[in-house]
Chains A and B, each alone.
Chain A
Amino acid sequence: MGNVRRSVALIVAVIMMATLLAACGGKTTQQEPELKVFRTYLTSDCPILNGHDSVESSLQVPHDYCSSPLYRVYPNEDGKGYHYIGDLAEGMPIQIDEYNWQIKIRKEAKWHNGEPINADTIIYSWKMLLDPILANQMADFLATGSITIVNAREYQRQGTENTVAWEDVGIKKIDDYTIQITTAYPNTAEEVCAQFVDRSTFPVYQPYYEAGMNESRTQTTYGTTLDEWMGCGPYFFKKWEFGNMHVYEKNPDHWLADLFHYDRVEVYIVPDMNARVQMWESGQLDYFVPDANTIDRYINDPRMVSYESLGVDHIDINCKNPTNPISGLIEYRKAVYHAIDRETVAREIYGHMKPTGTYVNGQAGILSPSGLTYRESEYGKAVTEMVNQWGPYGYNPELALDYMKQAFAKAGLSDNDVITLKWICEGSDVEAKATGEFLMEEFERIFEGRIKLEVISTAGMSATQFKRTGDDKWDLSPNQWTRSLSRKFPYMCFYYYLSTYATAPNNYFDEEFDAQYAVCDAPELKNDYDRMLQETKKLEEIYLEKVIHVPTVQRVVYEMFSDRVKLPVDRYIPGLGWGTIYGDIVK
């Protein structure tokens, strides 16, 4: 027994010594100095690598580096714009007639294991993406976007009915290296290219995709691990330590290898903001996005770059709360709209953001042929002016009180009655929580004690997830949904608030609003931008009149790149960003 104890003590002592020695020795990094390593981060890892079935935007990063789409966006030589270049595709799409486009596949295109990529690869990948039984979450990105492929959505959404055959879908193989796309409307070559830059349209490796398929063909394990995924891009996906880091290494044999300058890309998964700050400050990251709590520290840093994003934060209003007698009244919605001091919220709570009383975002329309954003157009300006007439960014406490009094009267409530509104937000969403706490005091003051606001944290659950639990006893909820297609078609930012959108984050729908959206969405308007802006103005006016929800803050993105990174463009370009993937490392 004594020997056993002594042995255990010895082992423990050895382990502790080894711990100490191991911990104190060695170098912090072991990078070879001649390698050009770009070090960036994600705040959470990709759940899987199958681009067909994950809505996580983080998935675009490994796909952009390690896989190849048909087309890529590439910065112009002057650094002031971008154009499309063929990746798997050889050259731009060839127009056959008004609705048909042919795309040639590069003969040298191949997977990382050396197997060839051809028209069959693309057809298989897209057939699987649109497969009605697999029910992939990203199928819509191929079916309809900047172009609409004939019968693609109908095929994908038919379920088990077998009413639309694959042969009826506008995707055909012409020969081993040519595919043909048939669109529902006339389009430009750029619009065709734009459809195929999203990760969902990247090719999948058939042997692994099929090997991972279950018996009923409802699910595949493709991309759940690195061993069940295949890349074909300018970088090899060397390591995937889930939740910790990705390592990509340059593929010198890639047909576009000359366009990519980093030898190695390291993507750290860093959920904690403090850790990100320390990594940035100590030079371990080449890219960094400060948040509301850290922005003040960097706002005057010459490395800071900023631009208005697609995101407009807003407040969803539950119109069906059974415990709130005024929840269904338009006067109540208007009262809330006018009671938000957006300048304070945007500048003091969010930190260096832009207040807004309108919903169409600052990038909307920027990819239109004229490059004119909706907000800069006469139509957008007219709506902004209308809002500012109510008060700065729509804030007008007197008007808010007046509407609230009307709502109380309509609901048969007296001036002595008090309604408690429930503001629900995710606990970790600092800005949403702080906004709620700010409005607690504001509402009590503005509505002269009629309204009390209670801030409820959903404890790890997003507000959207909370709403899906079926609990309808909430009143206000901060939210932000973006739609990149609004860069080209401004009205599309309203898409998620139509009664036809199945997973709408709100429960307030309006027929007039739906009808006006349909007007904006008409095919004839796609080539008449001025008319589209005009109809978008009407849509936004209805949105404000009915208070579909309450816009508050136009998000401004602040980003920083280290001095060692040379970017290919000198300003942010919507649709391309900073062209980080084509950057270089300089001393």
Chain B
Amino acid sequence: MLKYTLRRWGAMMLTMFIIMSLSFWIIRLMPQSIFENPEVAPEIQRLLEAEMHLDKPMWVQYYYFLRGIITERDFGRSVKLRPGMEVFKVIVSRIKPSMVLNFFSLILAIPAGIILGTIAALQRNKWPDNLISFLVVIFISVPSFVFGAVLQYLFTFKFPIFPTLYNASASSFREMFRSLTLPIIALALGPAATIARYLRGELIETLNSEFLLLARTKGLTRTQAVVRHAFRNSLVPIANTMIPMITGIMGGSLVIERIFAVPGMGGQLVESIVVGDHFLTVALLIWYSAISLITIFIVDISYGLIDPRIRIGGEK
């Protein structure tokens, strides 16, 4: 297990290094100038470029880029979106709202999805299953921002129970959380439906398997058989669907964040590419890659915990 974990960790670091390098080279080789401003005299532009080592050959720039990240956590400074601000600070300032929003939406989505998926499987082809399946189709096919807009209209305007916008300056966590309730629900519906759909399918297959029949024959109740055996077996494929969801925790949600004025990560990457804020773009690419890789790593390791029959690393 330890050997496997270390090997996976090593592979992850290598992948990370390759992604970092590719991000650097691709973005820096783009034609758009970092200090594009025809009103600035060329010699001043040269000074600005020298400050960020942009006057040096690409390989030297690459060295400074790696050194900055590894030794000083220095990703450079934002040039366009937050002029002069350290890129690291720009990202850090935006992570918190996105993380809170997406973390709680996942906290809501996972149990809700599991409960709904289990009910649908156990009540197969009965009205609860039909109802859940209908809702699942709706929640998966309709984008989250539509639910966001509808919830905002209903619960901030028609029945004003919640604030219209995210309240970042709330005096308490409770107040702040209240303002995030609607975006959390809007974001949770899709993932909950996805989990429910997968779990229903897996559970139905497992419920028909011979080992479950054996479990019942041994005297376990239906609930005991489902919880102890069927459920556990069905969770393994579900783990794969959770990877993009967990990645989304840090990724932000462009439209939902816009609707509820959540100053999160959503849209930052697109904006930085559009305006040519190269340092920020590279840092964001690294950030997204890092969280994806870490998530994959955690899910890989957790297979063994979910189902002990899976021998990690293929050893006996």
Tell me which residues from 91 to 112 in chain B have a Cβ below 8 Å from any Cβ of chain A.
Answer: 93-94, 97, 104, 107-108, 110-111
Write out the residue numbers on chain A whose beta carbons fall within 8 Å of the beta carbon of B263.
45, 241-244, 269
Write out the residue numbers on chain B whose beta carbons fall within 8 Å of the beta carbon of A132.
41, 44
CA distance A437 to B94 in the complex (A): 37
Interface string of A215-246 (1 = CB under 8 A from B): 11011111011000000000000010111110
Q: Distance (Å) between the CB of A278 and the closest chain B CB?
A: 4
A residues near B, CB below 8 A? 12, 15-16, 19, 22-26, 28-30, 45, 47-48, 50, 53-54, 132-133, 135, 137, 157-160, 212, 214-216, 218-222, 224-225, 239, 241-245, 247, 268-272, 274-275, 278-279, 281-282, 284, 460-461, 465, 468-470, 502-503
B166–A135 touching, CB < 8 Å:
no
* Residue in A15, A214, A245 whose CB lies within 8 Å of B168: A245
CB within 8 Å for A26 and B174 given contacts A48-B85, A278-B157, A460-B270:
yes
B274–A460 touching, CB < 8 Å:
yes
CA distance A212 to B175 in the complex (A): 35
B175–A26 touching, CB < 8 Å:
yes
CA distance A226 to B37 in the complex (A): 27
Q: Distance (Å) between the CB of A21 and the closest chain B CB?
A: 9
Residue B262 at the A interface, CB < 8 A?
A: yes
Select from chain A the residue with minimum beta-carbon distance to B81: A47
Q: Distance (Å) between the CB of A499 and the closest chain B CB?
A: 13
Residue B132 at the A interface, CB < 8 A?
A: no
Write out the residue numbers on chain A whose beta carbons fall within 8 Å of the beta carbon of B82.
47-48, 224
Select from chain B the residue with minimum beta-carbon distance to A271: B258
Interface string of B158-185 (1 = CB under 8 A from A): 0011111111110101110110010010
B36–A468 touching, CB < 8 Å:
yes
Q: What would 11 A/B residue contacts be, using CB atoms closer than 8 Å?
A: A19-B108, A19-B177, A28-B160, A47-B83, A135-B40, A135-B44, A159-B42, A224-B89, A268-B261, A274-B149, A278-B157
A460–B271 touching, CB < 8 Å:
yes
CB within 8 Å for A274 and B152 given contacts A26-B174, A245-B169, A279-B164:
yes
* Residue in B40, B178, B271 whose CB lies within 8 Å of A26: B178
Query: Quick one: which of B162, B178, B261 has the most chain A CB within 10 A?
Result: B261
Write out the residue numbers on chain B whose beta carbons fall within 8 Å of the beta carbon of A284.
164
Write out the residue numbers on chain A whose beta carbons fall within 8 Å of the beta carbon of B108.
16, 19
Write out the residue numbers on chain B whose beta carbons fall within 8 Å of the beta carbon of A218.
44, 47-48, 51
CB within 8 Å for A219 and B84 given contacts A23-B181, A281-B157:
yes
A160–B43 touching, CB < 8 Å:
yes
CB within 8 Å for A502 and B39 given contacts A23-B181, A244-B169, A469-B31:
yes
Residue B21 at the A interface, CB < 8 A?
A: no
* Residue in B44, B153, B261 whose CB lies within 8 Å of A159: B44
* Residue in A157, A239, A271 whose CB lies within 8 Å of B261: A271
Q: Distance (Å) between the CB of B66 and the closest chain A CB?
A: 21
CA distance A135 to B164 in the complex (A): 41
Q: Distance (Å) between the CB of A373 and the closest chain B CB?
A: 30
Write out the residue numbers on chain A whose beta carbons fall within 8 Å of the beta carbon of B165.
244-245, 268, 270, 275, 279
Residue B137 at the A interface, CB < 8 A?
A: no
B166–A244 touching, CB < 8 Å:
yes
B84–A48 touching, CB < 8 Å:
yes
A270–B107 touching, CB < 8 Å:
no
Residue B57 at the A interface, CB < 8 A?
A: no
CB within 8 Å for A212 and B84 given contacts A275-B152, A460-B270, A460-B274:
yes
Contacts A22-B178, A48-B85 supplied; 14 other A-B pairs, CB < 8 Å: A22-B177, A132-B41, A135-B41, A137-B37, A215-B51, A224-B83, A225-B85, A225-B89, A245-B261, A268-B165, A270-B165, A278-B152, A278-B164, A279-B165
Tell me which residues from 203 to 261 in chain B have a Cβ below 8 Å from any Cβ of chain A.
Answer: 258-261
Write out the residue numbers on chain A whose beta carbons fall within 8 Å of the beta carbon of B160.
28, 282
A16–B111 touching, CB < 8 Å:
yes
B274–A28 touching, CB < 8 Å:
no
The 9 closest A-B CB pairs, nearest first, are: A243-B263, A159-B41, A241-B168, A502-B38, A244-B168, A23-B181, A224-B85, A278-B157, A135-B40
Residue B32 at the A interface, CB < 8 A?
A: yes
Q: Distance (Å) between the CB of A569 and the closest chain B CB?
A: 30
Select from chain B the residue with minimum beta-carbon distance to A21: B174
B39–A244 touching, CB < 8 Å:
no
Residue B275 at the A interface, CB < 8 A?
A: yes
Write out the residue numbers on chain B whose beta carbons fall within 8 Å of the beta carbon of A279.
164-165
Write out the residue numbers on chain B whose beta carbons fall within 8 Å of the beta carbon of A502.
38-39
A503–B39 touching, CB < 8 Å:
yes
Write out the residue numbers on chain B whose beta carbons fall within 8 Å of the beta carbon of A212.
84
CA distance A160 to B43 in the complex (A): 7
Residue B278 at the A interface, CB < 8 A?
A: no
Please give the number of chain B residues whose Cβ is less than 8 angstroms from any Cβ of chain A in the complex.
63
Select from chain A the residue with minimum beta-carbon distance to B77: A219
* Residue in B157, B261, B270 whose CB lies within 8 Å of A244: B261
Q: Distance (Å) between the CB of A96 and the closest chain B CB?
A: 32
A244–B262 touching, CB < 8 Å:
yes
Write out the residue numbers on chain A whose beta carbons fall within 8 Å of the beta carbon of B258.
271-272
Q: Distance (Å) between the CB of B15 and the closest chain A CB?
A: 29
Q: Distance (Å) between the CB of B265 and the closest chain A CB?
A: 11
CA distance A29 to B164 in the complex (A): 11
Write out the residue numbers on chain B whose beta carbons fall within 8 Å of the beta carbon of A460.
270-271, 274
CA distance A137 to B51 in the complex (A): 19
B161–A24 touching, CB < 8 Å:
yes
B51–A243 touching, CB < 8 Å:
no
Tell me which residues from 250 to 297 in chain B have a Cβ below 8 Å from any Cβ of chain A.
Answer: 258-263, 270-271, 274-275
CA distance A53 to B84 in the complex (A): 10
Write out the residue numbers on chain A whose beta carbons fall within 8 Å of the beta carbon of B161.
24, 28
Residue B50 at the A interface, CB < 8 A?
A: yes
Write out the residue numbers on chain B whose beta carbons fall within 8 Å of the beta carbon of A470.
31
Q: Distance (Å) between the CB of B233 and the closest chain A CB?
A: 15
Select from chain B the residue with minimum beta-carbon distance to A268: B165
* Residue in A53, A137, A275 whose CB lies within 8 Å of B259: A275
CA distance A222 to B270 in the complex (A): 26
Q: Distance (Å) between the CB of B131 and the closest chain A CB?
A: 22
Residue B23 at the A interface, CB < 8 A?
A: no
Residue B61 at the A interface, CB < 8 A?
A: no
Write out the residue numbers on chain A whose beta carbons fall within 8 Å of the beta carbon of B93.
242
* Residue in A53, A159, A275, A461 whose CB lies within 8 Å of B274: A461
Q: Distance (Å) between the CB of B142 and the closest chain A CB?
A: 16
Q: Distance (Å) between the CB of A392 and the closest chain B CB?
A: 38
Write out the residue numbers on chain B whose beta carbons fall within 8 Å of the beta carbon of A24.
161
Write out the residue numbers on chain B whose beta carbons fall within 8 Å of the beta carbon of A135.
37, 39-41, 44, 48
Residue B5 at the A interface, CB < 8 A?
A: no
B177–A159 touching, CB < 8 Å:
no
CA distance A281 to B160 in the complex (A): 12
Q: Distance (Å) between the CB of A141 and the closest chain B CB?
A: 13
Write out the residue numbers on chain B whose beta carbons fall within 8 Å of the beta carbon of A461.
274
Write out the residue numbers on chain A whose beta carbons fall within 8 Å of the beta carbon of B44.
132-133, 135, 159-160, 218
Write out the residue numbers on chain A whose beta carbons fall within 8 Å of the beta carbon of B50.
216
B84–A224 touching, CB < 8 Å:
yes
Select from chain A the residue with minimum beta-carbon distance to B166: A244
Q: Distance (Å) between the CB of B166 and the closest chain A CB?
A: 6
Query: Quick one: which of A30, A158, A224 has the most chain B CB within 10 A?
Result: A224
Write out the residue numbers on chain B whose beta carbons fall within 8 Å of the beta carbon of A275.
152, 164-165, 259-261
Select from chain A the residue with minimum beta-carbon distance to B93: A242
CA distance A30 to B172 in the complex (A): 12
CA distance A25 to B169 in the complex (A): 18
Q: Distance (Å) between the CB of A353 and the closest chain B CB?
A: 26
CB within 8 Å for A216 and B51 given contacts A26-B178, A282-B160:
yes
CA distance A284 to B164 in the complex (A): 9
CA distance A241 to B96 in the complex (A): 12
Write out the residue numbers on chain B whose beta carbons fall within 8 Å of the beta carbon of A25.
174, 178
CA distance A157 to B43 in the complex (A): 11
CA distance A186 to B97 in the complex (A): 54
CA distance A503 to B168 in the complex (A): 38
Tell me which residues from 38 to 95 in chain B have a Cβ below 8 Å from any Cβ of chain A.
Answer: 38-44, 47-48, 50-51, 77, 81-85, 89, 93-94
